[in-house]
Amino acid sequence: MNNQLPDYYGVLSVARTATRQEISRAYRALMRLHHPDVEGRSSGGGSSAGAGPDPNGLLGIMEAFAVLGDAKTRAEYDRALSVAHPAVPHPGRGGPREVPVRRVHTPQPPLLRVTPVLWERGPWPGTG
């Protein structure tokens, strides 16, 4: 790694003490927000040949999750981060923030429709 470590906790907007589940939730929420296939967005921070990777674009989000999502690579990153910045306990942009999640609920028709039974006394027309 070079002298300037990327701030993966800041990219995912999670605290340094975040659990694996919190990191996964932040990753999925950010991917929903920045994915080019969602609501016709075009890929802005993609893989253009001359430009460097955008730390808050899709590649930065995926790289941050690849490092922080695995316990072994996260421990190595935390060690390197503590060596590079020993006085900074929580790197990032002021700590975690709420990432909005859009939930889509599609109503499904019931599998079985139950209605009240109407009992009638016979004989009915045509039966006899």
pLDDT at 126: 76
pLDDT at 40: 59
Of 3.40.1190.20, 3.50.30.30, 3.40.50.300, 1.10.287.110, the CATH number of 8-84 is: 1.10.287.110
pLDDT at 125: 78
Q: How confident is the model at residue 39 (pLDDT cuts 50, 70, 90)?
A: low
Evaluate the omega torsion of the peptide bond into residue 123 and state whether it is cis, within 30 degrees of 0: yes
Give the start-to-end residue ranges of the domains of the chain. 8-84
Q: How far apart are CA 33 and CA 39, in angstroms?
A: 10
Q: How far apart are CA 122 and CA 128, in angstroms?
A: 10
Threshold 0.75, pTM exceeds: no
Classify residue 40 by its DSSP letter: G
Which residues, in sequence order, are CB contacts of 45 under 8 Å at separation 6+? 34, 53, 54, 56, 57, 58, 59, 60
Report which secondary-structure segment, H or E, holds 9: helix 8-12
Taking each continuous run of H as one helix and of E as one strand, the counts in the chain are 4, 0
Condensed to tens digits (0 to 9), the pLDDT of residues 67-93 reads 999 999 999 999 998 887 665 544 455
